[in-house]
Structure 1
Amino acid sequence: MLGISVYFQDLDLHYLQEAKKCGVKYVFTSLQIPEEDYTSLDEKLPLFLNQCQLLELQVVPDISPVTFDKLKIPNQDYQQLKNMGFKALRLDYGFDDYDIIKDLQKDFYLMLNASVIDENYLKDALDHGVDLSKIAVTHNYYPHSDTGLALKDFQEKNKIFQKYGLTIQAFVCGDVLKRFPLYEGLPTVEKHRTVNPYIASIELLQNCCVDDVFIGDSQAEMSTLQYINDYMKENIITIPCYLEKGYEYLYDQNIQVRKDQSESLIRLSLPRKPYIPIQKSTLRKRGYIVMENQLAGRYSGEVSLMKQDLSFISRTNTIGFIHPEYTDVLDFINANTKIRFVRL
């Protein structure tokens, strides 16, 4: 499922409303980070929880021992958290007390810190009667540049979690408002710090065994959330692009990709059209949208996306191009995905 993050210093209730329309199910928030401004928590928290309840958004608070003090409730009084409306908890401590874990599972969907969970822990948890089907593992986000996880290590760890049937959750950056105090993005994987969050999300979902993606930062574009949700729910890869006049009919269609793909280009399952005139035949660059012309014979009218730079060929017309920020979606289009062109 898709999630966003909300921090009380940047609380925007309208953002919650709009995000819900884009398919968001989870709202992560931290009730323990030292940089957060909790001075107005008594006022903001009820507004936040009420809005999430009205929108049927599941709040996921990241908690530690300091949380109870900030909420002005007795230490480890989980019943109070339940009374406040929390139905899920992301625990940043207390993993080794399996009795507490089992007790909390009666009232909460638990998310454990993936950075401190390993296979030995999971074996011990099973031996102690912990129901792993009611647990997710949530990777950390990393505010400081160069401190995020290496992609390969992240993938290897997730294979272990997947073997035990755990739901795996991770973060990507926002593309509207980065979170204080460093404003350097909040990704799980360092590689994704400078990558469009939509592209990063596809990689997490397709190549990293991730089930749930959260925007770590304070805000993301609504289009970004919608694109991620469409991929998660319908396996549709949305491609912001420019199409030449006469080819705008290709916008906003769900287009199937051919099952037999090459290394150099992605062939689309669209009807061919004979006698396409020869025009705008240029070098075929990565990210170009091309159509075969009448020189291609029975292939005339076939549309492809260029994955690699190829030389000029007279039988191929250029009919558009993918926005440069989204060109890397080409690396994740396969025979099982559909694509949808949208206007820039």
Structure 2
Amino acid sequence: MLGISVYFQDLDLDYLEKAKECGAEYVFTSLHIPEEDYSDLNEKLPLFLKTCHNLGLKVVPDVSPVTFEKLQIKDKDYLKLKEMGFEALRLDYGFDDYKIIKELQKDFYLMLNASVVTKDYIEGAKQAGVNLDKIALTHNFYPLTGTGLSLKAFNDKNKVFTEYGLTTQAFVCGDVLKRFPLYEGLPTVEKHRIQNPFVAAVELIHKCNVKDIFIGDSKASIKTLRNIQDYMDKKIMRIPCHLEKDFEYLYDKEIKVRKDQSETLIRLLLPRTENIPVYHNTIRRQGSIIMENVLAGRYSGEVHIAKRDLPFEARSNVIGFIHPEYIELLQEIDGTTTLVFERL
């Protein structure tokens, strides 16, 4: 599942519509950010909720005691939240009473704060009769550079959730508009703060058993949203690259890869062609797109991508290269991936 985030200072209704067209299902919003301007919330919130309802987007508010104050409703008046149109809640903290969780599950899909959920908590929830199928574990995002989780800590936490078959959710940065007031990105994992959000999302899905990806920042590009959705739905990985003129026919094709991938090369399932001339055979840098030439014998015409720097081979023509920003995707390609080369 793909989700975006909306903050009222940056509210853009057109973005909501385009995100839905890309496959987004949820819209996360926080109603207790100290820096947010809530002075015109009475005007913006109804318009926001109506737009999301009309588009079929489920709004997920980050709920804490401050939320009820900002909405000017009675503390813990969840029935009012339901009447306003909220169908899911992200419970930030202070929800250790399983009776409350069970009661809320009657009306809402619940997302619990993954950072405070432990194995003991999950066991207690099971024994109390909480429906774990109607719960997701949502990791925090971290606005300040240096404060995000390490990939190891994140993975260790997720292994516990995976044991119980729980849905895990995490945030990646936006690549159009970072969120105020720091504008440093809102990732869950620190290393993703400086990465392309599509690359970050693929790593979370492929390596960390994350099912749902949310854009934490105010806005991501439509291309990024579509790329993430395509990967989540069909394992299609769209990779910007440059191809030499004679090989531009490889652009925009869905290309399967071999099931038995090697340690150094990604081997593509494309037809081989006999007697490919020797052309531009040079050092094969990481991310090089390679076609074997006539010197490779029956392998002539086979296409590879270099996973790491490789030495010169007379039988290998370098016909293009992957955009450097997407190089790390090469480590996430396996036998189930479908590649699409896109023009830079």
Q: Shorter chain as normaliser: what TM range?
A: over 0.9
Matched, 1:144 2:130: no
Residue equivalent to 2:34? 34
Q: Shift of the alpha carbon at 1:312?
A: 1.4
Q: Partner amino acid for 2:250?
A: L
Is residue 219 of structure 1 aligned with residue 213 of structure 2?
no
C-alpha distance in 2 between matches for 1:146 and 1:93: 23
Q: Which residue of 2 aligns with 1:301?
A: 301
Q: Which runs of structure 2 are paired with 1:261-300 in the superposition (5 Å)?
A: 261-300=261-300
Which SS does the other structure have where 1:269 is aligned?
A: coil
Counterpart residue number, 1:243: 243
Q: TM-score, normalised by structure 1?
A: 0.98
Distance in structure 2 (CA, Å) of the matches to 1:278 and 1:194: 39
C-alpha separation in 2, matches of 1:248 and 1:327: 20
Letter of the structure 1 residue corresponding to residue 178 of structure 2: K
Correspondence 1:252 to 2:271: no
User: In 2, Cα distance between the equivalents of 1:120 and 1:261?
Assistant: 40
For the residue of structure 2 that corresponds to 1:260, the secondary structure is coil
In the TM superposition, what is the alpha-carbon distance from 1:105 to its structure 2 partner? 0.4
Report the counterpart of residue 52 of structure 2 in structure 1: 52
User: Match for residue 112 of structure 2?
Assistant: 112
**1:198 is matched with which residue?**
198
Look up the match of 2:61.
Answer: 61
Q: Distance in 2 between matches of 1:185 and 1:88?
A: 24
**Whole-Å separation in 2 of the counterparts to 1:16 and 1:204:** 24
1:93 Cα deviation from its structure 2 partner: 2.4
| Alignment-mate amino acid for residue 277 of structure 2 | P
Within a 5 Å distance, the mapping from 1:164-183 to structure 2 comes to 164-183=164-183
Deviation at 1:316, TM superposition (A): 1.0
1:94 offset after TM fit, Å? Answer: 3.1
Give the 3-state SS of the residue equivalent to 2:297 in structure 1. helix
Kindly provide the amino acid, as one letter, of the partner of residue 104 in structure 2: L
Q: Give the distance between the partners of 2:94 and 2:146, measured in 1 at CA.
A: 28
Stretches of structure 2 lacking an aligned partner (at least 5 in a row): none
Q: Does 1:19 align with 2:19?
A: yes
Letter in 1 for 2:307: K
Q: Secondary structure at the match of 2:210?
A: coil
1:34 maps to a residue whose letter is P
Q: The residue matched to 1:312 in structure 2 has which SS?
A: coil
The Cα shift of 1:127 comes to: 1.4
CA drift at 1:231: 0.6
SS of match in other structure, 1:247? helix
Mapped partners of 1:63, 1:32: distance in 2: 8
Runs of 4+ in structure 1 deviating by more than 6 angstroms, as ranges, are none
Q: Distance between the aligned counterparts of 1:44 and 1:147, measured in 2?
A: 31
Alpha-carbon offset, residue 278 of structure 1: 1.3
Question: Which residue identity does 1:197 align to in structure 2?
Answer: P
Instruction: State the aligned residue count.
Output: 344
Give the C-alpha shift of residue 283 in structure 1.
Answer: 1.0
For residues 151-166 of structure 1, the aligned pairs below 5 Å read: 151-166=151-166
State the identity as a percent: 65
TM-score normalised according to structure 2 size:
0.98
Q: Which runs of 5+ in 1 are unaligned?
A: none
User: 1:6, 1:128 → 2: CA distance?
Assistant: 34
Q: What is aligned with 2:321?
A: 321
- What CA distance in whole angstroms lies between the structure 1 residues aligned with 2:179 and 2:117? 26
The residue that corresponds to 1:208 in the other structure is: 208
User: What CA deviation, in whole Å up to 9, does each residue of 1:254-282 have, x standing for no partner?
Assistant: 11101222111111010000111111111
- Asked if residue 79 in structure 1 is aligned to residue 79 in structure 2, the reply is yes
Per-residue CA distance 1:163-193 (angstroms, 9 max, x = gap)? 1121110001111111011111100011111
Report the Cα offset of residue 294 of structure 1.
1.1
